[in-house]
Structure 1
């Protein structure tokens, strides 16, 4: 396989940004080349250049375009990342439970990747509210491959290093045989989590309801200011009037001039 020319790199990253809104910089060139090389080999193209040329034409095959977007989407995560948010959510869940026969509590993991965040939320809700209470978690991601992986709920144990031992015993199954070194999220928890594909740069699926809590963490860092503002506006439209939005600790949205108020580090509510 020949290396990727600068012109081809710019063409494919421009295409990726048009579809996903995410800008892949020069610092990501090695990652892009490695993933394109595998795609070109699998597709039977003679070179990476030939693959890029085919995929940047107006009539590029839709199925292969989906594979391209899936492969170029970075998906690194683990359970109970940034635990301060889960502590805050636990307090809100207890307040909700104290209301007595409360309505269904809904949480959205807006960039759920392979599902660890959504299942972390669900384990916490199962612990605080119980499995008989009315609650649901919905996870969405740009990558259809990640949505499929999330639905399986099967992970290597290194992803679970932050899971409380009690949760591992109550809400996870330890793999054996062919699944040694892995864990499966228990069906009782998996059944309360729904995953679907959604592009935060585009109008959100009509199926998404209004949420009590929205996690939008570690995704805004990939977008420019205008794109960030558009994403947060769309997401806030699905947040209940008394709901809360969590963003990543490394992400700042204070300069976006949006109708929201920051109540603590990376915790926001409607203004």
Structure 2
């Protein structure tokens, strides 16, 4: 039976918040059913109660990862919110050109955003002047991003010059698809990473893109995630968030330069609280 009881929904809701910091309300119940019912059916289980008993049982680790993937994957497209890419090209890159630039796309989803960033970086800096790390909590999304194959409608906002330079039209099985050029794909390093945890490597990033993710978090979780991002920024580093996201009330050592654009100001100063 495809219905999800209030108790089963709360179990999923609380687990998703504990695991990924993501809040879903009761209005998302139908979304949960649509994303998970195939798994219930594929496992030969009768209903969601049986599914959750399996997921949270001793043999459920792999299915928990599958459930997380299905509940956290969101559709995106190339060059979404294009003003951010213009700022990267016209302001951020010129301000950092004296050394190789290291960029982190912290919510890469299926790869459209990091490949958009890679196109701008390669165009402006060539092959040796940049590094790009892209991460997502969803392992399946990371694997899809590595393949770099997309439906044509995902590329509607892609500038024509980038389309010609960095994309290859699919044939045969991939008719109607586009593939990111192999040389560009190999320049992007994809990792699975949970933003509730600090980035595990030393060195720091000059620019971090985290867009259209914070809207799914409550204020304490936003603070925790921003703390982790700030620790991963180099002195003077940039943080770019989504246009619809607010960091009002968040304490951080960043100065807001424009809506959704922040820069590390002075590591000697105490973190300031961003006001609305």
Contact 2:76–2:154 (CA under 8 A) maintained in structure 1: yes
Q: Match for 2:120 among 121, 124, 144?
A: 124
Residue number in structure 2 paired with 1:248 = 242
Determine helix, strand or coil for the equivalent of 2:10: helix
Instruction: Say whether 1:6 aligns with 2:6.
Output: yes
Conserved 8 A contact 1:94-1:129:
no
Counterpart in 2 of 1:150? 145
Q: Is 1:103 paired with 2:99?
A: yes
What's 1:169 paired with? Answer: 164
Aligned in 2, Cα 1:77/1:209: closer, same or farther, shift over 3 Å? Answer: farther
Alignment correspondent of 1:22: 22
Tell me, in whole angstroms, the C-alpha distance in 2 between the residues paired with 1:269 and 1:254. Answer: 15
Residues 45-194 of structure 1 correspond to what in structure 2 (within 5 A)? 45-57=45-57, 59-91=58-90, 92-97=92-97, 102-131=98-127, 133-194=128-189
Q: Does 1:222 align with 2:221?
A: no
Counterparts of 2:254 and 2:96, CA distance in 1: 22
Measured in 1, the distance between the counterparts of 2:259 and 2:54 equals: 45
For the aligned residue pairs, the C-alpha RMSD in angstroms reads 1.4
User: Following the alignment from structure 1 to structure 2, what is the Cα–Cα distance between the partners of residues 218 and 209?
Assistant: 25
Query: How far 1:161 moved relative to its partner?
Result: 0.5
SS in 2 for 1:123: helix
Q: Distance in 2 between matches of 1:209 and 1:230?
A: 20
Measure, in 2, the Cα distance between the counterparts of 1:204 and 1:144.
16
- The 2-side partners of 1:88 and 1:192 are apart by 21
CA shift at 1:60, angstroms? 4.9
Q: Offset of 1:96 from its aligned partner?
A: 3.3
Secondary structure at the residue paired with 2:256? strand
Unaligned runs of 5+ in 1: none
Pairing 1:197-236 to 2, within 5 Å after superposition: 197-206=192-201, 209-236=203-230
Q: Secondary structure at the match of 2:14?
A: helix
Conservation of the 8 A alpha-carbon contact between 1:123 and 1:167: yes
Point out where structure 2 has 5 or more consecutive residues left out of the alignment: 266-276
Alignment match, 2:274: none
TM-score by length of structure 2 reads 0.92
8 A Cα contact 1:11 1:56, kept in partner? no
* Deviations 1:124-159, CA, capped at 9 Å, x for gaps: 11111122x331111000000001001101111100
For 1:227 and 1:141, locate their aligned partners in 2 and report how far apart those are by CA, in whole Å. Answer: 17
Matched with 1:31 is 31
How far, CA to CA, are the matches of 2:21 and 2:223 in structure 1?
12
